[in-house]
Protein backbone atom coordinates (compact mmCIF):
# COMPACT_ATOMS: atom_id res chain seq x y z
CA UNK A 1 0.00 0.00 0.00
CA UNK A 2 1.30 3.48 -0.76
CA UNK A 3 0.62 6.97 -1.99
CA UNK A 4 2.85 9.63 -3.45
CA UNK A 5 6.08 9.88 -1.46
CA UNK A 6 6.73 12.97 0.62
CA UNK A 7 3.19 13.74 1.76
CA UNK A 8 4.56 15.36 4.92
CA UNK A 9 7.79 16.84 3.56
CA UNK A 10 9.11 19.62 5.77
CA UNK A 11 6.35 19.40 8.38
CA UNK A 12 6.89 19.22 12.13
CA UNK A 13 4.51 16.45 13.19
CA UNK A 14 3.61 15.76 16.82
CA UNK A 15 2.27 12.25 17.48
CA UNK A 16 0.87 11.35 20.89
CA UNK A 17 0.49 7.79 22.10
CA UNK A 18 3.53 7.01 19.95
CA UNK A 19 4.96 4.13 21.98
CA UNK A 20 2.82 1.41 20.39
CA UNK A 21 -0.21 0.60 18.28
CA UNK A 22 -1.63 3.10 15.82
CA UNK A 23 0.48 5.94 17.22
CA UNK A 24 3.72 4.06 16.57
CA UNK A 25 2.64 3.04 13.07
CA UNK A 26 1.72 6.62 12.23
CA UNK A 27 5.06 7.91 13.48
CA UNK A 28 7.05 5.49 11.32
CA UNK A 29 4.92 6.19 8.25
CA UNK A 30 5.16 9.94 8.81
CA UNK A 31 8.96 9.61 8.89
CA UNK A 32 8.83 7.78 5.55
CA UNK A 33 6.69 10.61 4.21
CA UNK A 34 9.23 13.31 5.05
CA UNK A 35 8.04 14.56 8.46
CA UNK A 36 10.21 15.73 11.32
CA UNK A 37 8.80 14.23 14.51
CA UNK A 38 7.88 15.03 18.08
CA UNK A 39 6.81 11.79 19.77
CA UNK A 40 4.97 11.90 23.09
CA UNK A 41 3.96 9.08 25.39
CA UNK A 42 4.07 8.24 29.08
CA UNK A 43 6.20 5.16 28.37
CA UNK A 44 9.92 5.08 27.68
CA UNK A 45 9.11 2.70 24.82
CA UNK A 46 8.60 5.85 22.79
CA UNK A 47 12.38 5.76 22.31
CA UNK A 48 11.97 2.49 20.39
CA UNK A 49 9.51 4.23 18.10
CA UNK A 50 12.01 7.02 17.53
CA UNK A 51 14.60 4.46 16.45
CA UNK A 52 12.15 2.76 14.10
CA UNK A 53 11.17 6.12 12.62
CA UNK A 54 14.83 7.05 12.11
CA UNK A 55 15.38 3.76 10.28
CA UNK A 56 12.33 4.44 8.10
CA UNK A 57 13.66 7.88 7.18
CA UNK A 58 17.04 6.32 6.47
CA UNK A 59 15.42 4.11 3.83
CA UNK A 60 15.03 7.34 1.86
CA UNK A 61 18.55 8.52 2.71
CA UNK A 62 17.21 11.14 5.06
CA UNK A 63 18.39 11.92 8.58
CA UNK A 64 15.39 12.30 10.84
CA UNK A 65 15.09 15.05 13.43
CA UNK A 66 13.06 13.53 16.26
CA UNK A 67 12.25 14.79 19.75
CA UNK A 68 10.76 12.40 22.31
CA UNK A 69 8.79 13.59 25.33
CA UNK A 70 7.57 11.61 28.33
CA UNK A 71 4.30 13.03 29.63
CA UNK A 72 0.99 12.15 31.22
CA UNK A 73 -1.41 13.62 28.67
CA UNK A 74 -4.41 12.95 30.86
CA UNK A 75 -3.38 16.21 32.55
CA UNK A 76 -3.25 19.77 31.23
CA UNK A 77 0.25 20.16 32.64
CA UNK A 78 1.50 17.20 30.62
CA UNK A 79 0.03 18.46 27.37
CA UNK A 80 1.22 22.01 27.95
CA UNK A 81 4.75 20.78 28.64
CA UNK A 82 4.84 18.70 25.44
CA UNK A 83 3.67 21.64 23.32
CA UNK A 84 6.17 23.97 24.99
CA UNK A 85 9.09 21.59 24.48
CA UNK A 86 8.10 20.92 20.90
CA UNK A 87 7.92 24.56 19.90
CA UNK A 88 11.00 25.66 21.85
CA UNK A 89 13.23 22.80 20.67
CA UNK A 90 11.98 22.05 17.14
CA UNK A 91 9.96 25.08 16.01
CA UNK A 92 6.31 25.44 15.13
CA UNK A 93 4.01 22.40 15.27
CA UNK A 94 2.50 21.97 11.81
CA UNK A 95 0.51 18.81 12.55
CA UNK A 96 -0.74 17.33 15.82
CA UNK A 97 -1.94 13.71 15.67
CA UNK A 98 -3.76 12.66 18.86
CA UNK A 99 -3.60 8.88 19.19
CA UNK A 100 -3.87 8.37 22.95
CA UNK A 101 -6.85 6.29 24.05
CA UNK A 102 -8.32 2.83 24.19
CA UNK A 103 -10.84 0.72 26.05
CA UNK A 104 -9.54 -0.38 29.45
CA UNK A 105 -12.41 -2.67 30.50
CA UNK A 106 -15.33 -4.30 28.69
CA UNK A 107 -18.62 -4.70 30.51
CA UNK A 108 -22.23 -3.51 30.34
CA UNK A 109 -22.62 0.06 31.56
CA UNK A 110 -24.96 -0.82 34.42
CA UNK A 111 -22.21 -2.83 36.14
CA UNK A 112 -19.39 -0.36 35.50
CA UNK A 113 -17.83 0.92 38.73
CA UNK A 114 -17.91 4.75 38.99
CA UNK A 115 -14.14 5.07 39.39
CA UNK A 116 -13.61 2.98 36.25
CA UNK A 117 -16.06 5.14 34.30
CA UNK A 118 -13.95 8.17 35.22
CA UNK A 119 -10.75 6.32 34.28
CA UNK A 120 -12.11 5.51 30.80
CA UNK A 121 -13.03 9.15 30.19
CA UNK A 122 -9.64 10.36 31.41
CA UNK A 123 -7.86 7.90 29.12
CA UNK A 124 -9.81 8.40 25.91
CA UNK A 125 -11.10 12.00 25.96
CA UNK A 126 -8.88 14.26 28.03
CA UNK A 127 -5.55 13.63 26.24
CA UNK A 128 -7.14 14.79 22.99
CA UNK A 129 -8.87 17.76 24.63
CA UNK A 130 -5.71 18.90 26.38
CA UNK A 131 -3.44 18.55 23.34
CA UNK A 132 -5.89 20.44 21.13
CA UNK A 133 -5.94 23.22 23.71
CA UNK A 134 -2.14 23.22 23.88
CA UNK A 135 -1.42 23.44 20.14
CA UNK A 136 -4.33 25.51 18.82
CA UNK A 137 -3.17 28.97 19.97
CA UNK A 138 0.10 28.72 18.05
CA UNK A 139 -1.57 27.32 14.94
CA UNK A 140 -4.24 30.01 14.90
CA UNK A 141 -1.68 32.75 15.47
CA UNK A 142 0.35 31.52 12.47
CA UNK A 143 -2.74 30.97 10.35
CA UNK A 144 -1.93 27.37 9.50
CA UNK A 145 -1.91 23.91 11.06
CA UNK A 146 -3.72 20.59 11.15
CA UNK A 147 -5.02 18.47 14.02
CA UNK A 148 -5.92 14.84 13.38
CA UNK A 149 -7.78 13.15 16.23
CA UNK A 150 -8.03 9.37 16.45
CA UNK A 151 -11.59 8.52 17.48
CA UNK A 152 -13.41 5.17 17.10
CA UNK A 153 -16.45 3.59 15.48
CA UNK A 154 -17.15 2.18 18.95
CA UNK A 155 -19.45 5.16 19.53
CA UNK A 156 -21.95 2.51 18.38
CA UNK A 157 -20.79 -0.55 20.24
CA UNK A 158 -21.54 -2.78 23.18
CA UNK A 159 -19.89 -3.19 26.59
CA UNK A 160 -17.83 -0.01 26.19
CA UNK A 161 -20.23 2.74 27.27
CA UNK A 162 -17.72 5.10 28.89
CA UNK A 163 -15.20 4.61 26.06
CA UNK A 164 -17.96 5.17 23.51
CA UNK A 165 -18.93 8.38 25.30
CA UNK A 166 -15.30 9.54 25.32
CA UNK A 167 -14.89 8.95 21.60
CA UNK A 168 -18.25 10.61 20.93
CA UNK A 169 -16.74 13.58 22.75
CA UNK A 170 -13.71 13.44 20.45
CA UNK A 171 -16.04 13.56 17.44
CA UNK A 172 -17.93 16.54 18.85
CA UNK A 173 -14.70 18.32 19.74
CA UNK A 174 -13.40 17.76 16.22
CA UNK A 175 -16.49 19.30 14.64
CA UNK A 176 -16.61 22.23 17.06
CA UNK A 177 -12.93 23.13 16.77
CA UNK A 178 -13.07 22.84 12.99
CA UNK A 179 -15.82 25.47 12.91
CA UNK A 180 -13.94 27.73 15.33
CA UNK A 181 -10.59 27.41 13.57
CA UNK A 182 -11.33 27.41 9.84
CA UNK A 183 -11.24 31.19 9.52
CA UNK A 184 -7.74 31.12 11.02
CA UNK A 185 -6.57 28.58 8.43
CA UNK A 186 -6.46 25.60 10.81
CA UNK A 187 -7.99 22.23 9.93
CA UNK A 188 -9.34 19.78 12.54
CA UNK A 189 -10.27 16.27 11.38
CA UNK A 190 -10.49 12.74 12.77
CA UNK A 191 -10.44 9.11 11.81
CA UNK A 192 -12.65 6.51 13.49
CA UNK A 193 -10.82 3.17 13.48
CA UNK A 194 -12.61 -0.10 13.85
CA UNK A 195 -11.08 -3.23 15.29
CA UNK A 196 -7.37 -3.30 14.49
CA UNK A 197 -4.88 -6.15 14.50
CA UNK A 198 -1.74 -5.22 16.40
CA UNK A 199 1.13 -7.00 18.14
CA UNK A 200 0.60 -7.84 21.82
CA UNK A 201 0.63 -4.65 23.84
CA UNK A 202 3.89 -4.09 25.67
CA UNK A 203 2.07 -1.63 27.94
CA UNK A 204 -1.28 -3.14 29.04
CA UNK A 205 -4.25 -0.76 29.10
CA UNK A 206 -5.55 -2.46 32.20
CA UNK A 207 -5.64 -5.74 34.10
CA UNK A 208 -7.57 -7.58 31.38
CA UNK A 209 -10.61 -9.79 31.98
CA UNK A 210 -10.54 -10.99 35.58
CA UNK A 211 -13.37 -13.54 35.56
CA UNK A 212 -15.21 -15.85 33.17
CA UNK A 213 -18.00 -13.27 32.98
CA UNK A 214 -15.58 -10.49 31.99
CA UNK A 215 -14.04 -12.78 29.36
CA UNK A 216 -17.50 -13.40 27.95
CA UNK A 217 -18.25 -9.66 27.81
CA UNK A 218 -14.97 -9.05 26.00
CA UNK A 219 -15.82 -11.84 23.57
CA UNK A 220 -19.10 -10.07 22.80
CA UNK A 221 -17.12 -6.95 21.87
CA UNK A 222 -14.96 -8.94 19.45
CA UNK A 223 -18.00 -10.64 17.89
CA UNK A 224 -19.84 -7.33 17.45
CA UNK A 225 -16.77 -5.68 15.93
CA UNK A 226 -16.35 -8.44 13.36
CA UNK A 227 -20.09 -8.57 12.59
CA UNK A 228 -20.13 -4.79 11.99
CA UNK A 229 -17.35 -4.96 9.41
CA UNK A 230 -18.43 -5.65 5.84
CA UNK A 231 -15.09 -7.41 5.38
CA UNK A 232 -15.63 -9.53 8.49
CA UNK A 233 -12.12 -8.88 9.76
CA UNK A 234 -10.00 -6.48 11.75
CA UNK A 235 -7.96 -3.86 9.94
CA UNK A 236 -4.18 -3.67 9.96
CA UNK A 237 -2.09 -0.95 11.56
CA UNK A 238 -1.04 0.22 8.10
CA UNK A 239 -4.68 0.48 7.03
CA UNK A 240 -5.24 2.82 9.98
CA UNK A 241 -2.05 4.87 9.57
CA UNK A 242 -2.40 5.77 5.89
CA UNK A 243 -5.73 7.64 6.24
CA UNK A 244 -4.32 9.56 9.22
CA UNK A 245 -1.23 10.61 7.29
CA UNK A 246 -3.36 11.57 4.28
CA UNK A 247 -5.63 13.75 6.41
CA UNK A 248 -2.56 15.35 8.00
CA UNK A 249 -1.13 16.26 4.61
CA UNK A 250 -1.81 19.14 2.24
CA UNK A 251 -3.49 16.61 -0.07
CA UNK A 252 -6.48 16.93 2.30
CA UNK A 253 -6.40 20.74 2.38
CA UNK A 254 -10.15 21.10 1.71
CA UNK A 255 -11.23 18.64 4.41
CA UNK A 256 -12.09 19.85 7.91
CA UNK A 257 -14.60 18.88 10.57
CA UNK A 258 -14.93 15.36 9.13
CA UNK A 259 -14.66 12.06 11.00
CA UNK A 260 -13.57 9.35 8.58
CA UNK A 261 -14.63 5.80 9.52
CA UNK A 262 -11.79 3.36 8.86
CA UNK A 263 -13.56 0.15 9.82
CA UNK A 264 -14.25 -2.01 6.81
CA UNK A 265 -17.66 -0.49 6.17
CA UNK A 266 -18.75 0.02 9.77
CA UNK A 267 -19.82 3.68 9.95
CA UNK A 268 -19.97 3.83 13.73
Q: Is 84 a catalytic residue?
A: no
Give SS3 for 69.
Answer: strand
Query: Helix 126-142 and helix 161-181: axis angle, to 10°?
Result: 10
Q: Using H for helix, E for strand and C for coil, what is the string for 94-139? A: CEEEECCCCCCCCCCHHHCCHHHHHHHHHHHCHHHHHHHHHHHHHH
Are residues 20 and 46 in contact, defined by beta-carbon separation less than 8 angstroms? no
Contact 121, 164 (CB under 8 A): no
Residue 50 and residue 66 in contact, taking contact as beta carbons nearer than 8 Å: yes
**From 109, 163, 234, 254, active-site residue:** 163
Terminal Cα-to-Cα distance of the chain (whole angstroms) = 25
Catalytic residues: 163
Amino acid sequence: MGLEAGLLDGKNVLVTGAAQGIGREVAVLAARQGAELILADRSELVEDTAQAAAAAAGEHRRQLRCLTALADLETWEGAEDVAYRATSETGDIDVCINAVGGTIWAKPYDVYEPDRIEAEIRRSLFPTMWMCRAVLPGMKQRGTGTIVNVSSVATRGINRGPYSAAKGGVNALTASLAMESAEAGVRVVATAPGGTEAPPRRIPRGPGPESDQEKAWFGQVVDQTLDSSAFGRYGTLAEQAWPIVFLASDAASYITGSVLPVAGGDQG
